[in-house]
Chain A
Amino acid sequence: MISYIAKRLVYILIAMWLIITATFFLMRLAPGNPFASERALPPAIQESLNAQYGLDNPWYVQYKDYLINSAKGDFGTSMKYKYRETNDMIAESFPVSMTLGLEAMFIAVAFGVLIGTIAALFHNKWPDYLMTILAVLGISIPSFVMATILQYYLALQLNLFPIAGWKGFAYSILPAVALASTPMAFIAKLTRSSMLEETNSEYVKMAKAKGISKPVIVFKHALRNALLPVVTYLAPLTAGVVTGSFVIEKIFSIPGLGKHFVTSITNRDYTVIMGTTVFYAVILLLAVLIVDILYSFIDPRIQLRGGKSND
């Protein structure tokens, strides 16, 4: 187990290096620079700015500096907002994004599993059909459309929730639901089909032959097995929630990391781009690792081992 995690951490470092390298070159390839604006700066100022941020060095020197700074976790000050440290910006905005993200993931998993299980229990009866329709809607409506629909009906018309902003729990509900709707529908479909498969399996028949009642069979026997594919989906779910949050945070004016990430790109704010990218990459890679470890706890057949496995 320990050696497995150590091995995985090495892979994560390699992945990080690839991501930093790719981001660095893509950033350079994109036209424009951080100091471009409507009013052209006098060439002298432009040059001194470039010098200050090391942008006049040859690319390999810049690349080396980036690698070293990234390894140290020091991404420098923003090129757009003077005197703002990239790290401070992340530290301020990430808790907001994390709250929103975890809330969305909770909604997606809890309600997705619940709805999927109910649909499987009422296979080919009306709750099953209703759920299938909702799932198709959930999957096909993009989160930003869902966000606007929620804002219009629940916030503007019915006044049940605040429209936008971030001043407490009530403000988080609509964005979290908007962010969760697609993955929730997906999890519901996943749970339904894997639950149906499990309830047709031999061990469920055997449990029935043991005299175990139907609800006990579903919750004590089938559910744990049916959840295995859902757990596998948690890593892509994290990625989906992270990318979804870029848009949702913008729509609901939430001061989260997603907003910084998007604006840093339009601003060609190299230091912030690099800082947020590296940060997101770490989060996602750790999420994948955590999901794998979690999986081994749920499925006793999976054994985590480091080094070479002999089977």
Chain B
Amino acid sequence: MKKSILEVNDLKVNFSTYAGKVQAVRNVSFEVFSGETLAIVGESGSGKSVTSQAIMQLLPVPPAIYEGGEILFEGRDLLKLSDRQMEKVRGNEISMIFQDPMTSLNPTMKIGKQITEVMIKHHKISRSEADKRALELMELVGIPMPEKRLKQYPHEFSGGMRQRVVIAIALAANPKLLIADEPTTALDVTIQAQILEVMKEIQKEMETAVIFITHDLGVVANVADRVAVMYAGEIVEIGTVEDIFYNPQHPYTWGLLGSMPDLTADKSQKLRTIPGSPPDLTHPPAGDAFAARNPHAMKIDYEKNPPMFKVSETHYAKTWRLHPDAPKTEIPEIIKERYNQYRQTKEGDSIV
């Protein structure tokens, strides 16, 4: 069994707003094992960013309220650390890659300084050592002419190159856990693939654990070992990539898989999306949050929020379907088709 480095238990995060209390993260629990990549998937607004920023404690308090739960990083509860102690964790043991590289770098500070700053802060090394290491990092993330580039400002870089810089900064202090919050969403498709490639290589090399947040299931199969599916502030299904892609149990996961654009599918086929929209998190429904959008919903779904049911050692899903007394619902045909197609392309890939 792998060693777990991060354990989030029953995390609850609210925001106080004029419209009321937004329950952005509701009883989220998951684990991250050292060296693995956990993908967190879900529509926008499902609480992925809030979860990740809660781990780093980057949420502004107020309006954010850490309502409950614990975030154990190597056994220490991050929620109980002081500001000073948390500063030593951020950027050093856990670091973060933000979504939009156009805004996440300081426009008036040279790239080199933005990278070395982290090492000087956490590793107490000299400026020249830090400069040398910055050069190595720039090479590692694939930025050509690093000596020249280190002396430039962010506006002299393209979006893709900036995201490489952000990755270099995140790696500068050799973190044990890297949180990437939609690191490719703001980029062109071709650049996305390059950045994913960089991230995969680096992870192999540095053996950092990664939480990879995305709303795009297509990316997940490529990068993740395990997947957590988030909906309306909750994790509704969690398992290995195989569990989620071959044997999904939650109707929301079916919906996500069903709306995945597919390379092999007929181009004229319309992109299927899940009908309806997520519930208002100021007043989350009493029952299952997905019931209103779920064609298979039963009476109990509107009344009681289902617990996590165990599917296998690695696989859990939060749906009444899995209750022993529940009537058997058939897995929709399209989803079955998807698995078969997916299985074929996967096999095709592994031959190459």
A: residues with CB less than 8 A from B are: 201-203, 205-214, 220-221, 224-225, 298-301
Is B91 interfacial (CB-CB < 8 Å)?
yes
Contact with A210, one of B83, B108, B121, B155 (Cβ below 8 angstroms): B121
A221 and B169 CA atoms in complex are apart in Å by 15
Is B15 interfacial (CB-CB < 8 Å)?
no
Contact with B91, one of A201, A210, A225 (Cβ below 8 angstroms): A210
A295 and B151 CA atoms in complex are apart in Å by 19
Contact B103 A210 (CB under 8 A): no
Query: Which B99-121 residues sit within 8 Å CB-CB of chain A?
Result: 100, 103-109, 117-118, 121
**Minimum distance in angstroms from B91 CB to a CB of chain A:** 4
Contact B95 A203 (CB under 8 A): no
Contact with B104, one of A206, A212, A224 (Cβ below 8 angstroms): A206
A202 and B105 CA atoms in complex are apart in Å by 8
Per-residue CB proximity of B42-85 to A under 8 Å, as 1/0? 00000000000000101000000000000000000000000100
**Minimum distance in angstroms from B268 CB to a CB of chain A:** 39
A209 and B94 CA atoms in complex are apart in Å by 9
A122 and B155 CA atoms in complex are apart in Å by 31
Contact B87 A211 (CB under 8 A): yes
Contact A300 B95 (CB under 8 A): no
Contact B117 A210 (CB under 8 A): yes
Is B338 interfacial (CB-CB < 8 Å)?
no
A sample of 15 cross-chain residue pairs with beta-carbon separation below 8 angstroms, ordered by A number, consists of A202-B104, A203-B103, A206-B166, A206-B169, A209-B91, A209-B95, A210-B91, A211-B87, A211-B88, A211-B173, A212-B91, A221-B109, A224-B108, A299-B107, A300-B153
Contact B58 A209 (CB under 8 A): yes
Inter-chain contacts of B98 with A (CB < 8 A): 202, 205-206, 209
How many inter-chain residue pairs (CB < 8 Å) link A and B? 70
The closest CB in chain B to the CB of A224 belongs to: B108
**Minimum distance in angstroms from B96 CB to a CB of chain A:** 4
Inter-chain contacts of A209 with B (CB < 8 A): 56, 58, 90-91, 95-96, 98
The closest CB in chain A to the CB of B115 belongs to: A210
Contact with A225, one of B88, B95, B107, B173 (Cβ below 8 angstroms): B107
Is B208 interfacial (CB-CB < 8 Å)?
no
Inter-chain contacts of A212 with B (CB < 8 A): 87, 91, 117, 121
Per-residue CB proximity of B161-181 to A under 8 Å, as 1/0? 000001001000100000000
Which range contains the number of B residues in contact with the other chain?
20 to 34
Is B198 interfacial (CB-CB < 8 Å)?
no
A221 and B114 CA atoms in complex are apart in Å by 10
20 additional contacts, CB 8 Å, given A202-B98, A212-B117? A202-B100, A202-B103, A203-B103, A205-B104, A206-B96, A206-B98, A208-B90, A209-B90, A209-B98, A211-B87, A211-B90, A211-B91, A211-B118, A212-B121, A221-B109, A224-B109, A225-B107, A299-B107, A299-B108, A300-B108
A300 and B58 CA atoms in complex are apart in Å by 28
Contact A207 B108 (CB under 8 A): no
Query: Which B143-201 residues sit within 8 Å CB-CB of chain A?
Result: 153, 155, 166, 169, 173
Contact A205 B58 (CB under 8 A): yes
Inter-chain contacts of B95 with A (CB < 8 A): 209-210
The closest CB in chain B to the CB of A302 belongs to: B155
The closest CB in chain A to the CB of B105 belongs to: A203
Contact A298 B117 (CB under 8 A): no
The closest CB in chain A to the CB of B106 belongs to: A203
Inter-chain contacts of B83 with A (CB < 8 A): 214
Inter-chain contacts of B105 with A (CB < 8 A): 203, 206
Is B89 interfacial (CB-CB < 8 Å)?
yes
The closest CB in chain B to the CB of A228 belongs to: B108
A202-B98, A221-B109, A301-B153 are known contacts. Are A210 and B169 too (CB-CB below 8 A)?
yes
Contact B58 A203 (CB under 8 A): no
Inter-chain contacts of B88 with A (CB < 8 A): 211
Inter-chain contacts of B89 with A (CB < 8 A): 211
Contact A225 B108 (CB under 8 A): yes
A224 and B106 CA atoms in complex are apart in Å by 10
Inter-chain contacts of A203 with B (CB < 8 A): 103-107
A301 and B108 CA atoms in complex are apart in Å by 8
Is B293 interfacial (CB-CB < 8 Å)?
no
The closest CB in chain B to the CB of A299 belongs to: B108
**Minimum distance in angstroms from A219 CB to a CB of chain B:** 12
**Minimum distance in angstroms from B333 CB to a CB of chain A:** 44
Contact A211 B153 (CB under 8 A): no
A35 and B133 CA atoms in complex are apart in Å by 79
Is B23 interfacial (CB-CB < 8 Å)?
no
Contact B106 A211 (CB under 8 A): no
A300 and B107 CA atoms in complex are apart in Å by 8
A65 and B314 CA atoms in complex are apart in Å by 95
A211 and B58 CA atoms in complex are apart in Å by 10
The closest CB in chain B to the CB of A206 belongs to: B104
**Minimum distance in angstroms from B6 CB to a CB of chain A:** 16
Is B92 interfacial (CB-CB < 8 Å)?
yes
What 9 pairs across the A-B complex have the smallest Cβ distances?
A211-B91, A210-B91, A202-B103, A211-B90, A300-B153, A209-B96, A203-B106, A206-B104, A202-B104
Contact A210 B107 (CB under 8 A): no
Is B21 interfacial (CB-CB < 8 Å)?
no
Inter-chain contacts of A214 with B (CB < 8 A): 83
Contact B96 A211 (CB under 8 A): no
A300-B155, A301-B153, A301-B155 are known contacts. Are A208 and B106 too (CB-CB below 8 A)?
no
The closest CB in chain A to the CB of B152 belongs to: A300
Inter-chain contacts of B56 with A (CB < 8 A): 209
**Minimum distance in angstroms from A267 CB to a CB of chain B:** 50
The closest CB in chain A to the CB of B103 belongs to: A202
Inter-chain contacts of B107 with A (CB < 8 A): 203, 225, 299-301
Inter-chain contacts of A221 with B (CB < 8 A): 106, 109
Inter-chain contacts of A210 with B (CB < 8 A): 90-91, 95, 117-118, 121, 169
